[in-house]
Structure formats: C-alpha cells, structure tokens
Structure 1
C-alpha cells in the first residue's frame, strides 16, 4: 500500500469519526440533554447567576423538580421549581406550603432578607388567587422560584403549559467547586 493511499485512508477514518461524533452530539443536545446558563437570582440559593446546568429533556416531571421552560411573557427560558402538578391544590399560609392539604417544609427557599421587619418570604395565597383555578388543570404546572422575594413566577404570569417545558435540571457543572447532581428529591454535591 502506498503512503499516499495510507494517508488518505487514515484521513477518511478520522473524518468519519469526527462526523459521527458531531451527529451523536447533535442528537444528544436536541433530544436528550442540553447545557443551560442560569441568568438572575430567582433560584438563589439553589442556583446562582451564571451557573451552568445540564437539562434532561427526557425526564418525568415531579413535584419539587427544577425545570427550564419557555417563558409565557417573553422570548426567554426560565428555571423554577415545580410546586403544583395537574390535579393539585396549592396554598401558602404563614410561609408554609400546603399541597393537597399536606404541609411541606421548604429548606431550599432563600429566607435571608435585609428587612428586619420581614416576617415571611412568601405571601399567603391560594392557587385560585393567582390563576382562577381551584386545582392545577391537566397539562399545566404551578411553579415558584426559590428566592421568593425576587422571583417572577406563577404568582405573576399564571400556570405553565407542560408543552413549554424544555426539561429538568439534573446537574450543575459550573462553577466546578459547586458541581452538583440532582437525583430525585436528593441533592448530591461533589466538593473539589
């Protein structure tokens, strides 16, 4: 075999491998997962501004998952926490979340405030107060940010269509010293 032919075969082999890698990357990004950069402080302390996360596009959405979705009010994507699923009643009373009559602790909520007179971080409300619905309708979600005093969420723009959901945050990959996997209801942080 001549040297030119060997070089040509090696070049073609590399070209096929690179093209195959590009196709696999495109398929994964389009249908399985995607990196997203968090903008803003509405999910502090769970996410900080400029954190980079990996969003799974094939996950089943459950209560308390962090989801990325197309905003109903602007051409942006938001990240918020799922509070109400289809069929749920949602109420907030004296800073206690009540879903379907069950009280939930919310350790992820940012309770730090500069105002010493601020008694609670989430106002009292019912789902009906903000959406006109007694329960979350089929095909929709009720979402809130973890930084309730600054979050622009379902209290402002209503329910989110499940069709608008890009996916669920599964992992924070940047900054590296806060690398975190989100596994079900557990958060597994990996320290460097």
Structure 2
C-alpha cells in the first residue's frame, strides 16, 4: 500500500493539472502570509503613531535609572503627571529629554543646602545620585509650579540639564510617560 501511495504522489507531481493546482495553492498561501504580516505591521505602526512613542536616552542625566543610549517607550496622550513619573520632553531645540517629575502645578519647590523640598517636605529620590544644587541665577527659589506645568530633574543631579536651568516644563511639551526601557548598548 505504501508503494501505491508513492506511485500516486509521483503521478500527481508530473500531472500538469495537479502541478498548476498545487502552485496556485502555494501562491494563495504566500499571499495570505504576506497580508497577515502587513496587517500586523500596520497595527504596530498605528499603535506607535497614536498611543506610544519611542526615543533614546542621550547622556548620563538619568543614571543610574536609565543609561546613555537606552531605548525608552512612552505612552502618549497622558495629561496627568505625578511626582516620580519619568517623562520624555520635547525641547524647543528639537532634542528629547528624559527626566523625572519632581513637582506638579501648585507645588512649591525649594533647593537649599543640596536638598530639594516640595511644599516644605524634603524629597528623597532613592535613585538620585549627586548633589542637588541650583544651577541658574535666572531661577529663584522657592518657586511655585504654574498651572499645566511640571518641575523635572534628572536622577544624576550633577550632570543633568533640567528645570534648575530651563525652568518648569509645560505639559504640552511632554511627549509621554515612560513605560519601558530597553538597555541595548
């Protein structure tokens, strides 16, 4: 019986009608796979365009939490941020900064003796390294964060360019809240 099935298979392989039918079926299967791939691709692009974004960390300002060249994925369309959130910021010069929110609208921020205070309470960020010092004479403390703005700092306080230099950041300049990071480099 096995020999008979082998003969049948050989005959089918040389029969032009069967060959055409099998070739047509293979093309149909390839087209289905390509269409499925394209659909998945379009869905992923749509997700990243409308709901998520991707950026990289440039420099050591968020060390030890994030490292230089880490890839970060952020959630877009979040209008509510709280202290401790890590966010991606659109800067006027086109750069994207990744920083930690320290204070939100209505909070009063003060920097005194290398410590940061929000509403009179010392803020201790376990991930932060280095001294927290005021960096610009243009920004005076205590500083009250205005409506629709946040005060941000990098975790590596001594090398970070943040609200101590650039001032508070408008919510509309926040690209999104960091949800995942990938350390490739």
TM range (shorter): 0.7 to 0.9
Q: Is the CA contact 1:131–1:158 (under 8 Å) kept in the aligned structure 2?
A: no
Q: Is the CA contact 1:68–1:78 (under 8 Å) kept in the aligned structure 2?
A: yes
Structure having the higher helix fraction is 2
Where does structure 2 lack aligned partners over 5 or more consecutive residues? 1-17
Residue 131 (structure 1) shift = 6.6
Residue 21 (structure 1) shift = 0.8
Where does structure 1 lack aligned partners over 5 or more consecutive residues? 112-120, 177-192
The two structures have a TM-score, normalised by structure 2, of 0.78
Structure showing greater radius of gyration is: 2
Structure 1 residue aligned with 2:55: 36
Count of residues in Structure 1 that have an aligned counterpart in Structure 2: 164
Q: Is the CA contact 2:67–2:183 (under 8 Å) kept in the aligned structure 1?
A: no
What SS is found at the alignment partner of 1:41?
Answer: coil
Query: Residues 163 and 131 of structure 1: is their aligned pair in 2 closer, same or farther, counting only changes over 3 Å?
Result: farther
Q: Is the CA contact 1:94–1:124 (under 8 Å) kept in the aligned structure 2?
A: no
1:18-97 alignment, distance < 5 Å: 18-59=37-78, 60-72=80-92, 74-97=93-116
The two structures have a TM-score, normalised by structure 1, of 0.75
Q: Would you identify which runs of 4 or more consecutive aligned residues in structure 1 move more than 3 Å?
A: 131-134
- Distance in 1 of aligned mates of 2:82 and 2:117: 16
